[in-house]
Structure formats: C-alpha cells, structure tokens
Structure 1
C-alpha cells in the first residue's frame, strides 16, 4: 500500500486509530540508548514520537540528525532501543542551508527549490532504486518539512559524502536537501532504519 500510494495526506490519515503500544518503553529506551546524542534533540525526538505516535509503527530504531554539528562529524545517530546502542554516521546537509560551503548548516528551509535541509520529524517509507541507487523515501510530518515529498527529500548515498571527500577538503559535499550518506554506509542506514520509523532532524544553537 505504501509503495503505491505513498503521500503525506495518505500517511497522516493512516493508522490513526491504533493504540500507543509501548510508548513509555520507547521513551525510556531512547533516552538510555542515545548516549553521545545532544539531550535537547533526544527530547525533541521524544516529543515528535508522542505527537506522531499513531504513524510511527516501528519503534526499535529511531534516527536523530544533529545539524548543529559540522558535516565532518558523525551526526546521523541511529539509536537502537532494543540493544541499547547508538551508531553514528556522517550525513550531508543541503546546499541552500550552507551556501558558502562552510561545512556547517546555517539555516533550514522547506521552500520548494531551496535545496536546503528541513528540520522536523520524518516517517521513513519504502526503499526504491533511483539515480543514487538504493534509497529510502521520507514523508515530512511537521509544518517545517511538509514539502519533503514534493521536494523529493530522501535518504540516499552520494560520492560527495564519502570519507575521501572529507580527507581532501575537511568537510563533506552538499546535497539538494536530502540525507546523503557515504556509499559505504548506505546499506547500514537502509537496513537499520527500515520503513515506518522516525527520523528527527534538528539542531541546538549555541
């Protein structure tokens, strides 16, 4: 069903009557497992999980992208609540969020054509094969990322997210707003962050 009718309107209307099974367990598990993740973002992810609980039907792994960190730093945190562990990988931000290519996200935007990263909660969708190979669709659940589908914001791999680019220029390249990871990491991300899970993107400004 999701593969053939994957739209924000469809998803926001799906499973609205499902009970909030295991919500407290998930909240405690996320807080305990997310070692090394900014606690402010952990709390925001928990708030997002509470707000969108009926839609997030798999809660074993929750991803938090900390765009307050530079692109050279592993900042896509895959928090495995079942094992109590967190794997952190490098991920790009959008060109429109860092026009001078400083390696630091300067601002978020959800404007179509902005090529920027959008903050907020995302629901992971099906895997598909696109121009970047195996990728995973995303649906924006908040007003700050409501145009994610229209903008084709997804998780994919890219050469400019590779460690060789980091070694050469001290920062990753930039996407058009997608969550681009190294080709060496895409299998891990797609496997760990399966369909129906929460990805929260944000930053804490100093």
Structure 2
C-alpha cells in the first residue's frame, strides 16, 4: 500500500507524462498546418470563382458596352440635318436588312431637281458627294421641277418615300440598272414597280441649262449618264437609300 507521499509523487509523474503526450499530439498538427500553408498561398485561383476569369466577362464591361452602342455624330455637308437624322433612324430601324452600314444615300425631295439632292454619304467621316437626281412624273404632274407627292401605287409613275435596300445589278431598257427593295409600307411595292437606279439623258446637267430643271422618270432614281458609274461604286449592293421630303 502506498503512503501519502508515494501517491502524490505518482500523480505528479502521471501529469508530467500526460503533458508530454498531449504536446506530442499537438506537434504533428502544427507541422501539418505549416506544410499546408505554402500550398494554400500558391493556389489562389482555386479559391476564386471561375467566371471571374471568363473571357466574356473580361470583354464585356459597362464602358465598352456604352462605346459599342454609342452612335457618332454625323455631319454631312449640304445635307438637311433633320433629313439626315431621319435617315440614320431608318438605318437603325432596318439594320438587320441592311448588310453594309458604312455608306448611305439620301434623296432630299424637298429641293428642286435643279439642285444636287442625291447625297452619297460616308458614315465613317461624313464626306458627302451630291448628284442630280430626277423624280417621277406622277409626283410632279405639272412639271414644276419640285416633287408634289409620293405614291406607292402601281402605275402611278410617282416616286415613293422611305428606306430602300440596294440589290443586284442588271441591264434593262435603261441600260445598267440596280434593283431596289422597299423596306417601308410607303415603298414596299418598289420591286414590283421596278423602281430602280439608272441613268437617263433627261437627268444630265445640260437639262438645267436648257430648261432650268431635270426631266422626270417613272418613279426611278434617274441620274446623269456620266454619273452612274460613280453612284454604283459608292452604293453597291446591300446599302440603304433613304428618300423623303422634310
């Protein structure tokens, strides 16, 4: 049987041994944590959501979206600003049907046929080339040189208003011509009516010197015979012509 002193000594020894054992249990954990720390520091991407690095997230930012959708101001010399604004709105409205958006033509039928009113506009820099263009006889029955009315009706021989998409070239009774597709309710019969771009003797500048105005078409955009090649080169298929009166 142990006496009191032996019992106290045994308890002291047990506590000392237990403390050493507990410390030994704690050491592997501390070593393991120390070994894991460099690994955690070296792999931050595994802790970051994958979509943070997604290319589409990097490319599409609010400032870039604003830049992509912002339309630059176009200043086309000699073009009525109100008409140009309407033409650009039509380009946006019919955007999916206009394949090429770098250049447009605007026919300003507010002015007389003695003035260059067929404006070929480069939308990238605003540079504009303006040509003479005739309107339809049905739009000006008294042959005043000014368009009085539009019509979309077959047999009217009148010019029609709205946005047109330039289509293919062909050779017809007026020689080289370009078909047009009417995009608005006010000109959607253009293809059936054979409303096209072509050259005509009565749209040459000497008509103005002789009569003070151009002759009249059957509703087509008739330009001078020496101007047709340049008009075709500047327009080409897949662009927009906008005709209106403001």
Question: Does 2:173 match 1:131?
Answer: yes
Q: Which has the higher contact order (CA 8 A, sep 6+)?
A: 1
Question: Does 2:159 match 1:117?
Answer: yes
* Greater Cα shift, 126-135 or 169-178: 126-135
Per-residue CA deviations over 1:3-41 (Å, capped at 9, x if unaligned) read xxxxxxxxxxxxxxxxxxx9856x426x23x22211111
Aligned to 2:136: 94
Q: Determine the C-alpha separation between the residues in 2 that align with 1:125 and 1:79.
A: 18
Per-residue CA deviations over 1:160-202 (Å, capped at 9, x if unaligned) read 0011211110000000000000001000101100110010000
Give the number of the structure whose residues are more often helix, by fraction.
2
Structure showing greater radius of gyration is: 2
Give the gaps of 5 or more residues in structure 2: 1-66
What does 1:75-90 align with in structure 2 at a 5 Å threshold? Answer: 75-90=117-132
What does 1:35-54 align with in structure 2 at a 5 Å threshold? Answer: 35-54=77-96
Q: Determine the C-alpha separation between the residues in 1 that align with 2:87 and 2:177.
A: 23
- Classify the secondary structure of the residue corresponding to 2:177: strand
Question: Does 2:196 match 1:171?
Answer: no
- Classify the secondary structure of the residue corresponding to 1:199: strand
What does 1:172-191 align with in structure 2 at a 5 Å threshold? Answer: 172-191=214-233
Q: Determine the C-alpha separation between the residues in 1 that align with 2:99 and 2:92.
A: 12
Normalization by structure 2: what TM-score?
A: 0.71
Q: Determine the C-alpha separation between the residues in 1 that align with 2:169 and 2:130.
A: 21
Give the number of the structure whose residues are more often strand, by fraction.
1
Please tell me whether the aligned partners of residues 77 and 126 of structure 2 are also in contact (alpha carbons under 8 angstroms). Answer: no
Aligned to 1:28: 72
Give the gaps of 5 or more residues in structure 1: 1-21
- Classify the secondary structure of the residue corresponding to 1:104: coil
Per-residue CA deviations over 1:67-114 (Å, capped at 9, x if unaligned) read 000000000000012343000000000000000000000000111000
Report the count of equivalent residues: 180
Per-residue CA deviations over 1:45-70 (Å, capped at 9, x if unaligned) read 11111110011110111110000000
Q: Determine the C-alpha separation between the residues in 1 that align with 2:72 and 2:215.
A: 35
